[in-house]
Structure 1
Amino acid sequence: MEQLYPYLIIIGSSILIAAGWLLYSYRTQILLSQKLIRLNEELNYDLPDFLRQCWPSLKESGFAGLSWSLNWFGTYVSGSNGKTDGRMLEKRFDVQEITLTVCLYLHQRSWEYRFISSALADNFFLLVRMNLWVKLGAVRSTFEQTAKMTVFLQHDVKNMAQLMKLTAEQLNNPVPGQEDKLIDSMREVIPAVRDRAEHMLNTLTNKSADNLESSHDLNALLEQTANMYELPSTINGETTTVKLPKNNLQSILDNILGNFSRQANKSSAQKPDVHIDLEREDDFVKVTITDKNGAPCLWPERLFEPFWSEFGTGRGIGLYQARQHAYAAGGSLTAESMANTPLIFVLKLPA
């Protein structure tokens, strides 16, 4: 038995050395993978840039060469580094408008080196795949945001057209003896229409909106908007200001009061009688709006549902847009509807 001790010591030492080497190699693999991940983050997950700049890290990882061919939304680019012959690991990605073929070339080494290289290659290919989906996700998200903006702009254009139609009808059919009153009304309506046109132009040209912290006279804007829609209104409560972008505030009031205007135009039996109550609640202003002569709402659950409208020409986006603006400002917009009673909108905005 004593004669076996030297051999056992040699075998044990060999196992320890092998285990130590494997542990060192594994740790090295992790460090090199982290280096690739940091590079990818620094490049903001941009695939073409990552492919162009990843070779130094791959070379340090023990690869002999790299070659790639990329179809990037219809543009073909390619690149290569190091030795591009011999044994290789090839991967092809074909996702929507992006096609990529990547080849990693290996040195002629023992199986354990090939195993480590294969594991590093899997990490590299995983980063490449991630970059593909990050880009496609960003493109899809941008298109979705653009489509959403287009819907809102179409609705704003429709509101503008309705305001211009009301103005044209007033000018074409002036009430005898009310010419001075008509001129005063035009002085109020035309600047409001101009403001809405500027808002749409700013949205289309990506110009920044007004300051989120700017304060606006809520009473004045309520009165101006009610007058634009020819809604007889009574505003109760102290003069107060609210903090949110003016364009968003105008959009909220346009959509709420415009809804009352359209409902009133459905029937000429009774003229609208809009009552607006303002009340301060801590850091918010609560605005309650109702038409005392309005009919009960038949579809209260659909008021804020996008793309649903009881009017054949409506887009069904106005009240949804108003609610989005209110929540974006830290407030809220709700509706109260009970049987045989007029609809009530409750708007809360930061003071």
Structure 2
Amino acid sequence: MTDLYDAAVALVVAGLSIGFTMLWLRHLSRLHRRRMDQLLALREALHDDLLGTLVLHQRTLAQLGLISMDWRGNWYGSPVFTRMGPPIPAIVHGAAATDARGQRRFDDRVLCQSFQFDDISLDFRIGLKGLRGERHLFAVQAAEVLFAMLQGALAARQLALVAAVSQRARVGVFLQHDMRNLAQWVQLVAEDFAAAQDDQTLMVRARRLRSNAALAANKAERMAKALLNPTWQPSLSAPLTSQEDPESALMLDLDEHIRQAGELHQVEIELEGGAWLQWDEQALATVLDNVLGNVSTLSRERMLPARCRVRVIEEGQDIVVHFETPQLPLEIPLDKLFEPWATSGSVNKGLGMYQARKQALQSGGNLCAEPLGQGVRITLRMPCKNS
């Protein structure tokens, strides 16, 4: 009977022990999960300020068993070293030590991880609490998750940097043509003044400069803002603001814009028809700059008068503008007119007409070309509200 009683007591004690152990593990797992949620919530903050976030949330890390952490290395050219918590012992992960009474005990573990990303080179060490069993496993898991989050944050930072540099290069490429147009205008003005032989001619050139100066200044200001604004991007894939909200587009005097562009590029405009329209002003300016700028350049190279016949036709809700230069042959085949960096022999046309067509398309219009005599007819179609 005694043996049976002892066995029963042993079974009860064992059952209670297992029950308490299960409850304790359940408590630990829930506590660990809450703390891991707090750790995962730092993901966005790590992307914004990686090193500062670690220092700011040192308590959260310590609650996970990461009692100390340090890192050293290079952060965008600056040497860095930071320590949080007690110094980390220089021991190998998994090593054991002996206390003063000669009893073996687990010492603080050390986990190490190195990160290399272009201008970033960091060596991290994390010291764990000297705990046995499940507490140690939970702490190791938290450290590995933190390392993965650091890896992701540094990779995201590097990708964002590469994208930003690429975007700035893209902006520069697209602004090169606008800067060339402005430089050509300066060259034309300088040649005009240099060729003036008398005061009367000089005054005529001065009046022309005064009429064009405001337009040129506006173009220069727009380019300067684009270069200084990191969020600006050329209109290639995203619709323009005026298309997202048509009411935000300005009512434009098409005749006035065509004549101003002709004066700026010193092209004699033979204008037929006219209209007011509601369309994207930047897209219109880009088309006029490139079309009439090419007329001016080709005419000067061939020692011909710079002339362009412009016909404005209203077709329902569309405004159609024909730019006609039948006596001015193109430098490149017509099918390459809108090709970026199109070449023919030693001629390279850059991005001008490509950029003009893209902006017209993104504003809901179109830009196309067809042969006309020895030259070309370029047609701009603008679906828009008009009055």
TM-score for the superposition, normalised by structure 2: 0.71
Name the CA distance, whole Å, in 2 between partners of 1:285 and 1:7.
96
Q: Distance in 1 between matches of 2:293 and 2:149?
A: 51
Q: Spell out the pairing of 1:41-60 with structure 2 (5 A cutoff).
A: 41-42=44-45, 44-60=47-63
State how 1:186-225 maps to structure 2 within 5 Å: 186-206=209-229, 213=248, 215=250, 216-225=252-261
Give the AA of the match of 2:82.
G
Q: Which residue of 1 aligns with 2:378?
A: 344
CA distance in 2, matches of 1:314, 1:78: 52
Superposed displacement of residue 99, structure 1: 0.9
Bigger shift: residues 110-119 or 12-21: 12-21
Contact in 2 for aligned 1:65/1:104 (Cα 8 Å): yes
SS of equivalent residue, structure 1 residue 273: strand
1:122 aligns with: 144
> Which residue of 2 is the match for residue 277 of structure 1?
312
- The residue that corresponds to 1:227 in the other structure is 263
Q: Which runs of 5+ in 1 are unaligned?
A: none
Q: Which runs of 5+ in 2 are unaligned?
A: 90-107, 233-240, 243-247
SS of residue matched to 2:179: helix
- SS of 1:342's equivalent in the other structure is strand
What CA distance in whole angstroms lies between the structure 2 residues aligned with 1:250 and 1:52?
52
- Residue from 117, 124, 138 that aligns with 2:160: 138
Q: Secondary structure at the match of 2:149?
A: helix
* Alignment partner, residue 335 of structure 1: 368
Instruction: Tell me how large the CA RMSD over aligned residues is.
Output: 4.1
Contact 2:47/2:153, CA 8 A, preserved across alignment: no
Q: Which residue of 1 aligns with 2:70?
A: 67
Amino acid of the structure 1 residue aligned with 2:52: D
* 1:66–1:104 CA contact under 8 A, matched in 2: yes
Relative to structure 1, the CA distance from residue 200 to residue 120 in structure 2 (aligned partners, 3 Å threshold; closer, same or farther) is same
Alpha carbons of structure 1 residues 123 and 249: separation in structure 2 relative to 1, 3 Å: farther
Q: Please tell me whether the aligned partners of residues 70 and 77 of structure 1 are also in contact (alpha carbons under 8 angstroms).
A: yes
Which of 290, 294, 304 aligns to 1:255? It is 290
Counterpart residue number, 1:166: 188
For 1:91, the equivalent position in structure 2 comes to 113
Task: Map residues 17-36 of structure 1 onto 2, 5 A cutoff.
Answer: 25-36=28-39
The equivalent of 1:78 in structure 2 is: 81
Distance 1:116 1:199, change over 3 A: same
CA distance 1:219–1:119, change in 2 (3 Å): farther
Alpha-carbon deviation of 1:316? 0.6
Aligned partners of 2:285 and 2:379: how far apart in 1? 16
Which string of whole-angstrom CA distances, capped at 9 and with x for unpartnered residues, describes residues 194-232 of structure 1? 3333334444554999x9736243321111112332333
> Which moved further from structure 2: 29-38 or 99-108?
29-38
Residue in 2 that maps onto 1:110: 132
CA contact (8 A) 1:242 1:285 kept: no
Q: Determine the C-alpha separation between the residues in 2 that align with 1:338 and 1:19.
A: 86
How far apart, in 1, do the equivalents of 2:35 and 2:337 lie?
A: 56
Q: Which moved more, 1:54-63 or 1:189-198?
A: 189-198
After superposition, give the CA deviation of every residue in 1:45-88 in whole Å (9 maximum; x if it has no partner).
32122222231211121222222224211112222222333311
* Residue 324 (structure 1) shift: 5.0
> Which amino acid letter does the alignment assign opposite residue 218 of structure 1?
L
| Count, aligned residues | 345
Which AA in structure 2 matches 1:274?
R
Cα distance in structure 1, aligned partners of 2:141 and 2:170: 43
Q: Give the CA deviation at 1:90.
A: 0.9
One-letter amino acid matched to 1:144: S
CA–CA distance in 1 between the matches of 2:314 and 2:20? Answer: 79
